[in-house]
Chain A
């Protein structure tokens, strides 16, 4: 054993170790590692499809999915449906998050508001919002309103609950300190209570983004003429499995992207927090 490692290979091994220990290599390595497993899975999928191990009538291969994506983009369809869906999520999410944040702040800060509003919110919360799809369509027809409203309804509660509990979990000792150092009520809210609740509010927002996508999928599969959900419904009727898989892949990428952006936002807003600060938790 020693005769082998003593000669030339040990020198190249040392050189390799030196490269591996350099900070720039470590940085690249850390960025690449999370992508190794998805790459292997896609490669395995591709091999299975090419070798015929996987029946293409059951699951088309990655190349088929990419091909159908290109042809849909060339015809201008994919962009169109994607934009329609993104717009619905964006509007619905903004409405839902604003209402949830506003009501949550009100209920968290005022015990009167809590007595008036909280029970009602908790009761409505227990209704699965997707059960309202038929009612929404009956009320609003098959236009944009029912879909956007459903997304908003799905978002409202997770933002609301997390805002309320975030505000109520702010250390009362810090509030007492703020009072004894002469902060006015608005100053207290702005510089002590909201920053203290921020971490949990962001958790609610991150969760709400997931709910928004889920709601959109369901809302778009019913009586829709546009959007990714329509694309899936249409493909199912035409037995286009490649399109279905493509849309599922787009959902996955969009979900990941939304999560990635909220995590960036968290890292920025919570930079004071020991577990979010730079260098403490490599992400």
Chain B
């Protein structure tokens, strides 16, 4: 099984009187890499948490995989969330039994060979996030959920991690859902970009060609421009609660 399919129907999540997700419908084919982008607080992370089973929807249904399949779902977070009292190797093998050889191989693949017995506190932010990636991949998940996994990294490390992720996915394809604020990251890595706006899916953009895409491609640059403009508009709306023109909110963001 190279990934699991995902079917979401009329998914709703209320936090008190606030409706964070309003009747979301989403179909993801197996092996597809989907990015979710959108302004802060539009429900991207909530959607991911519900899929991961860390939150329960108010109503609606989720199906992961076809009937009869038992797909494995793993989530990678914005923070590394490594246990400080466990060595890197013991962190990567958490929740598994006797997968040490595989874990060592994966750690070598993410560039952490020889660091297996060290504690997380001596690693840099980028190295910790690599260890977290190795931990997520060790379980060979059919569905990999990534919640802004590279958001806290510097630009160079982020580019290296994006490359690493697409290399590892090429070796072992699986379904991926990536929540990100980085429009370029979404366009580079995914087959499909979904823009969310106030708890709904606003745009569903299927990208042509195979991933990963080259940075600086003309079509990508145009798409990025469009998406950023649309997102800035959302940001202005959520902040002020009134309709604004794209140019005025762009100016506001530049201040």
> Which residues does chain B contribute within 8 Å of A181, judged by CB atoms?
74, 94-95, 135, 139
Give per-residue flags for B198-212: 1 if the beta carbon is below 8 A from chain A beta carbons, else 0.
000000000000000
Tell yes or no: B53 within 8 A of A by CB. yes
Q: A186 within 8 Å of B by Cβ?
A: no
Q: Is B29 an interface residue (CB 8 A)?
A: no
Provide the residues of chain B in CB contact with A191, threshold 8 Å: 83, 86, 94
Q: Does B85 contact A (CB under 8 A)?
A: yes
Produce 1/0 per residue, B93-110, CB < 8 A to A: 011000000000000000
Q: A132 contacts the other chain (Cβ, under 8 Å)?
A: no
Nearest chain A CB to B122 CB, angstrom units: 8
User: Which secondary structure characterizes the binding site on chain A?
Assistant: helix
Interface centre among A180, A195, A196, A272 (most CB of B within 10 A): A180
Q: Are B95 and A273 interface neighbours, CB within 8 A?
A: no
B55 to chain A, nearest CB (A): 10
B68 vs chain A, min Cβ distance (A): 21
Alpha-carbon separation in the docked complex, A277 to B81 (Å) = 20
State the majority secondary structure of interface residues on B. Answer: loop
Residue B164 interfacial (CB < 8 Å): no
A185 within 8 A of B: no
Q: Which of B120-138 contact A (CB under 8 A)?
A: 121, 135
Contacts A191-B94, A272-B119 given; does A177 touch B85 at CB 8 Å: no
> Given the complex, which residues of B lie within 8 Å of A174, measured CB to CB?
81, 83
Q: Which A residues touch B121, using CB under 8 A?
A: 272-274, 277
Within the complex, the shortest CB–CB distance from B235 to chain A, in Å, comes to: 26
Residues of chain A touching chain B, judged by Cβ–Cβ distance below 8 Å, are: 173-174, 176-183, 187, 191-192, 195-196, 198, 270-274, 277
Given contacts A173-B79, A181-B95, A182-B139, 8 further A-B contacts (CB under 8 A): A176-B81, A180-B74, A180-B75, A181-B139, A183-B94, A191-B83, A272-B84, A272-B85
Pick 21 A–B contacts, CB within 8 A, sort by A: A173-B77, A174-B81, A176-B81, A177-B77, A180-B52, A181-B94, A182-B139, A183-B94, A187-B95, A191-B83, A191-B86, A191-B94, A192-B83, A195-B83, A196-B85, A198-B85, A270-B85, A272-B84, A272-B121, A273-B84, A277-B121
